[in-house]
Amino acid sequence: MTKIFKAIGIEFTKPLKWYNWLTLAWVAVSFILLSIDTETAPIWAVFLVVANFALSIKVAAKTIPDIKDDENS
């Protein structure tokens, strides 16, 4: 997985721990769940999916290390 990030040019300031990978997977799954059909899904399900995505972004912002900035180094 680290090779995938390096291939697209993303390097983190610290190595990612196992829980960082789990958080990234949670964000990815939450993003995919945003593609539910909002016309046929009940409104509570839409709110639940959007809240899950917002919470995953909030947790990822606090736990994932910063991306290395090559311009300042």
Q: Is residue 5 part of a domain?
A: no
Q: By three-state DSSP, how is residue 12 classified?
A: strand
What is the rounded radius of gyration, in angstroms, for the C-alpha atoms of the chain?
A: 15
**Does the residue 73 lie in any domain?**
no
| Assigned domain for 23 exists | yes
Distance of CA 45 to the CA centre of its chain: 20
Q: What's the pLDDT at 14? A: 83
Tokens of 70: 């090559």
Q: Which residue has the tokens 């829980």?
A: 19
34 in any annotated domain: yes
Residue 40's Cβ-count burial label (10 Å; 0-12, 13-18, 19+) is: exposed
Is residue 16 predicted with pLDDT exceeding 70? yes
Q: Mean pLDDT throughout 20-24?
A: 89
Domain with 30, as residue range(s), is: 14-66
Q: Is residue 71 part of a domain?
A: no
Confidence band for 3, pLDDT divided at 50, 70 and 90:
confident
Phi, psi of 50 (to 5 degrees): -65, -40
Query: For the chain, how many structural domains are there in total?
Result: 1
